[in-house]
């Protein structure tokens, strides 16, 4: 299980150098949603009940179509996270691959969103202040509407969590039906609901800080959130675990190329020595050592015989040449008897003797 910090680090690594296309895809999806709302307001500008109902119905249909593009954005994020090829054409991936399944899954989510936002919708339209309403009435209406909207959004985000992985599953398994993908998402999120909720809550401080950038930072925060959710999905499928093990193996090989890639416990059975084989090997080694000792003893006896044979030969040569020793003694005595002749003293008068005698 990967921690939130690690998931965010993986998301940052995947987004590095790709912020432009990620932000552009996010802006494109949000622009489509804004355009659909503007078209709905232009087609049904009245304040009558029928106009309001038709406006919401038209917006609902456009939302289903835009959800197909939003699912394509998730597909593009998934490709980026996996290091695969990606482009803005990925936004229309599901329009080319079973768009009906995405529409059906999006229909359930849109209905859930409609139900959670229904109190806000009813209150904001039924209690719309008139032109002569006081400031206090306007503030009360606005405050109550904002509270209902925030509560509806929070409830929707909580209820839709079990279905959050549906689009990713459809991207990986296009052969599944929408209901099967939603069922698999429910099973995948079982036991991970709180963990995913805390992951979403961890981004709230960044959203508050975006106020100081006049909400421009949201262009980076929302793609960052989406990429982190992709990493959460990859963690549930086990991809991140495999990636982490591969990174650790590469790091070990880089530090020590001779490092064994798997431990002794992971070695095949044929590489492990059986106890019986161990004892048989030990017995063979003992026999080999005895043979080596016998060879060494034979070599030692042969050397002893050679030395004895050599001494006998020397004695034999001495007996065969008895004069060699006597002759050597005579030579040594003659050398010792010879002495170096002493130098004769020179008594002849020298020229300088007369000089020294005159001085006396």
Q: Distance (Å, rounded) from C-alpha 105 to C-alpha 180?
A: 10
Q: Where are the alpha helices (DSSP H) in 82-134?
A: 93-96, 99-116, 118-126
Q: What is the pLDDT of residue 44?
A: 86
Number of domains forming the structure of the chain: 1
Q: What is the pLDDT of residue 246?
A: 85
Hey, is 334 helix, strand or coil? helix
| Distance, first Cα to last Cα, the chain | 125
Instruction: Tell me which residue range forms the domain holding 132.
Output: 4-261
The candidate with the shortest Cα–Cα distance to 108, out of 147, 67, 146, 158, is 67
Which residues, at least 6 apart from 150, have a Cβ–Cβ distance to it below 8 Å?
A: none
| Phi/psi of residue 47, nearest 5 degrees | -105, 5
The candidate with the shortest Cα–Cα distance to 165, out of 177, 183, 191, is 183
Q: Distance (Å, rounded) from C-alpha 37 to C-alpha 47?
A: 16
Q: What is the pLDDT along the chain (360 residues), one digit of tens a residue?
A: 789 999 999 999 999 999 999 999 999 999 999 998 899 888 888 778 888 888 889 999 999 999 999 999 999 999 999 999 999 999 999 999 999 999 999 999 999 999 999 999 888 888 878 777 788 888 999 999 999 999 999 999 999 999 999 999 999 998 899 999 999 999 999 999 999 999 999 999 999 999 999 999 999 999 999 999 999 999 999 999 998 888 888 888 777 665 554 444 444 454 444 434 433 444 444 444 455 555 455 555 555 545 444 444 444 444 444 444 444 455 455 545 444 444 454 556 655 566 556 665
- Per residue in 120-141, is it b (16+ CB within 10 Å) or e — as a string? bbebbeeeeeeeeeeeeeeeeb
Q: Distance (Å, rounded) from C-alpha 106 to C-alpha 98?
A: 13
Domain-embedded: residue 250? yes
Domain-embedded: residue 329? no
CB–CB of 26/70 below 8 Å?
no
Q: Distance (Å, rounded) from C-alpha 107 to C-alpha 166?
A: 12
Domain-embedded: residue 333? no
Please, what is the Cα angle at 87 between 85 and 93, to 5 degrees?
Answer: 95
Hey, is 81 helix, strand or coil? helix
Domain-embedded: residue 22? yes
Domain-embedded: residue 230? yes
Q: What is the pLDDT of residue 48?
A: 80
Domain-embedded: residue 128? yes
Q: Distance (Å, rounded) from C-alpha 167 to C-alpha 230?
A: 11
Q: What is the pLDDT of residue 272?
A: 46
Query: What DSSP character marks residue 360?
Result: -
Q: Distance (Å, rounded) from C-alpha 254 to C-alpha 249?
A: 9
Q: Distance (Å, rounded) from C-alpha 342 to C-alpha 345?
A: 9
Q: Distance (Å, rounded) from C-alpha 75 to C-alpha 62?
A: 20
CB–CB of 232/199 below 8 Å?
yes
Domain-embedded: residue 255? yes
Q: What is the pLDDT of residue 83?
A: 92
In the numeric block, the tokens 């768009």 are attached to 99
Residue 281: enclosing H or E segment and its boundaries?
Answer: helix 275-320
Q: Distance (Å, rounded) from C-alpha 98 to C-alpha 104?
A: 11
Domain-embedded: residue 164? yes
């Amino acid at each position: 299980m990967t921690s939130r910090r690690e998931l965010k680090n993986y998301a940052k690594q995947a987004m590095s150098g790709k912020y432009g296309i990620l932000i552009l895809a996010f802006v494109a999806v949000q622009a489509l949603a804004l355009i659909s709302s503007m078209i709905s307001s232009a087609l049904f500008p009245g304040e009558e009940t029928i106009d309001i109902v038709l406006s919401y119905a038209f917006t609902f249909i456009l939302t289903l179509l835009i959800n197909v593009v939003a699912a394509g954005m998730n597909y593009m994020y998934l490709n980026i996270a996996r290091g695969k090829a990606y482009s803005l054409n990925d936004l229309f991936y599901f329009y080319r691959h079973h768009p009906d399944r995405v529409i059906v899954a999006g229909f359930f989510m849109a209905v859930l969103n409609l139900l959670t936002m229904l109190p806000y919708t009813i209150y904001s339209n039924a209690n719309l202040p008139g032109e002569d309403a006081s400031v206090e009435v306007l503030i009360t209406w606005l405050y109550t509407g904002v509270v209902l909207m925030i509560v509806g959004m929070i409830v929707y985000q909580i209820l839709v969590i079990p279905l959050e992985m549906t689009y990713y599953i459809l991207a990986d398994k296009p052969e599944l039906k929408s209901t099967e993908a939603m069922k698999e998402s429910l099973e995948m999120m079982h036991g991970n609901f709180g963990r995913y909720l805390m992951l979403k809550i961890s981004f709230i401080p960044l959203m508050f800080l975006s106020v100081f950038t006049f909400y421009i930072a949201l262009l980076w925060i929302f793609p960052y959130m989406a990429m982190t959710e992709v990493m959460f999905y990859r963690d549930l499928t086990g991809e991140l675990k495999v990636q982490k093990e591969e990174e650790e193996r590469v790091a070990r090989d880089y530090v020590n190329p001779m490092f064994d890639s798997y431990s002794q416990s992971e070695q095949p059975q044929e590489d492990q020595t059986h106890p019986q084989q161990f004892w048989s090997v030990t017995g063979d080694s003992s026999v080999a050592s005895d043979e080596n000792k016998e060879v060494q003893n034979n070599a030692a006896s042969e050397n002893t015989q050679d030395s004895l044979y050599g001494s006998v030969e020397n004695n034999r040569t001495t007996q065969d040449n008895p004069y060699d020793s006597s002759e050597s003694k005579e030579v040594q005595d003659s050398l010792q008897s010879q002495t170096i002749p002493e130098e004769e003293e020179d008594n002849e008068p020298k020229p300088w003797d007369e000089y020294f005698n005159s001085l006396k």
